[in-house]
Amino acid sequence: MSDTIRQTMRDDFESLDAFERAKEHAYRYAQTIDARAVAPTEEALAALALFDEPMPEHMGSAVDIVDQLNTLGGPATVAQTGGRYFGFVNGGVVPAALAVRWLSDIWDQNSALYVMSPVTAKLESVCESWLTELLGLPSTVVAGFVSGTSMSICCGLAAGRYRLLHNAGWDVNQQGLNGAPPLRVITGEQCHATVKKAVTFLGLGLNCIEYVPCDDQGRIREDALPPLDEHCLVVLQAGNVNSGAFDAFEPVCRAAKASGAWVHVDGAFGLWAAASSSLSYLTRGMSLADSWSVDAHKTLNTPYDSGITLCADRDALVGSLQTTGSYILYSEQRDSMLYTPEMSKRARGIELWATLKYLGRQGVDELITGLHQRAVQMADLLVQAGFSVLNEVVFNQVVVVGNNTQETQQLIEQVQQSGVCWVGGSVWQGQNVIRISVCSWKTTEADIVRSVEAFVAARKAINSI
């Protein structure tokens, strides 16, 4: 690197001009988020084409780059941190966690090993302890901090694969899967797509999945479970992706334990119900499972990306993700890479620690309970306005339809285009539906009223065509 380039970067760090400009833009964005249209305008989307330019030949201006990103990129963002975004179970963001992220981004810690970042290792240990207590999980639970539930499900099932095959006398790390005792994956017919992704990623193959029929809310039917044995990976849901329904954990877990099966709970957004004093009944018996997956960036409202894999069998999790190398300096302290597939990874546990410390047990309870209350309000007002709600609103999900398939699709488009709120479409029980996920701490009663009014206005516009 030339002295000129090195000096330019030194100057940018020392002057702080680019950082100050980014701060100004960020503050303005945060202060105006509630007044923004939830979805970008057509003009904002068209302006993204200005990013299409030849790769620069020479070094640019840090301030100009920040300004360009703000000018072209800011208007093309989706207002997910506001109170009226109800799509894809995308949560808002807790202020303390976002502030801590800014600070920890400056630290730029690689959290693979204790020796790389003692502070990250310590805060991950604290989070592990707090999460175990908050969610009512066994004291043997260890936590790995990953990008999201897609990866945390992979980790949980990898641990289960390792343990079941080890119990059968097969070392999957040394011998691989070729010739291994076959494993069966038992899950509900409405399992999330990430479960299937994990099964293929782990080399088990989709043909090993035995789908169990579900009831009208998407809960696995206990009476339809196939005979279980010591070769079974059982996957249950804490929060159906459409209806928000929870499987009956206690009877299924007890049956699985009696047969020597491994149970994983996919709780991307629903696992947090265990921390709500009024909703924890939904997770009764969940602690009997062997592994769990959950996103903090959904219900808990940490910044992205913040997935957590939890496992009561430390040896199985570490064994399935083990890495060796002469240069890897393990310690007597927490070495995070033992519990995740990644080696180099950002220190996302710091933001989780800040969120839990900021909210405290009471704040977490009120956040989760409040999301449910707003979802119930949304469902009640939609029904009063003449729309059909198809699910029991047990958590934060609302499934609604228009008078027919065409009207349902038109409602989605009209509501999205209104900019008042954003909802997504799905297919549930063979029917096209509108899927509403209430996930942000910012969502108020007034936000729900305004959003329902957008539904009513959309229907009126459709009927006038």
Domain residue limits, the chain: 3-79, 99-356, 365-464
pLDDT at 292: 98
Nearest of 104, 80, 13, 131 to residue 345 by alpha carbon: 104
**pLDDT per residue as tens, the chain (465 positions):** 788 999 999 999 999 999 999 999 999 999 999 999 999 999 999 999 999 999 999 999 999 999 999 999 999 999 999 999 999 899 899 999 999 999 999 999 999 999 999 999 999 999 999 999 999 999 999 999 999 999 999 999 999 999 999 999 999 999 999 999 999 999 999 999 999 999 999 999 999 999 999 999 999 999 999 999 999 999 999 999 999 999 999 999 999 999 999 999 999 999 999 999 999 999 999 999 999 999 999 999 999 999 999 999 999 999 999 877 777 888 899 999 999 999 999 999 999 999 999 999 999 999 999 999 999 999 999 999 999 999 999 999 999 999 999 999 999 999 999 999 999 999 999 999 999 999 999 999 999 999 999 999 999 999 887
Q: Which two tokens stand for residue 83?
A: 């109170």
Closest CA to 350 of 318, 303, 314, 312: 303
Q: What is the pLDDT of residue 1?
A: 76
pTM (predicted TM-score): 0.96
- Euclidean distance between CA atoms 23 and 85, whole angstroms: 24
What's the count of helices (H) and strands (E) in the chain, helices before strands?
Answer: 14, 11
Does the domain formed by 365-464 have CATH 1.10.10.60?
A: no
Fold for domain 99-356? Aspartate Aminotransferase; domain 2 (3.40.640)
Cα distance between residue 463 and residue 270, in whole Å? 37
Q: Which of 351, 333, 327, 315 is nearest to 145 (CA)?
A: 351
* The amino acid at 356: L
Query: Which stretch of DSSP H or E encloses residue 19?
Result: helix 17-32
| Residue owning tokens 């950002």 | 346
Query: Beta strands of 161-231 (E only): which ranges?
Result: 184-188, 209-212
pLDDT of residue 329: 82
Map residue 267 onto helix, strand or coil.
coil
| Residue 178 DSSP SS3 | coil
Strands 388-389 and 307-311, bridge-based pairing = unpaired
Residue 160 CB-half CA count within 13 A: 35
What is the per-residue pLDDT for 334?
Answer: 94
Instruction: Report CA torsion sign: 372, 376, 382, 385.
Output: negative
Inter-helix orientation angle 445-464/405-418, to 10° = 120
pLDDT for 322: 81
At residue 287, φ and ψ (nearest 5 deg) are -70, -10
Q: pLDDT at position 324, please? A: 74
- Per residue in 54-88, pLDDT (tens digit) is 999 999 999 999 999 999 999 999 999 999 999 98
Instruction: Output the furthest CA–CA distance in the chain (Å, rounded).
Output: 72
For the chain, first and last CA: distance in Å? 64
Nearest-angstrom CA–CA distance, 15 and 31: 26
- 211 CB-contact burial (10 Å; exposed 0-12 / middle 13-18 / buried 19+): middle
φ/ψ (deg, to 5) at 391: -115, 160
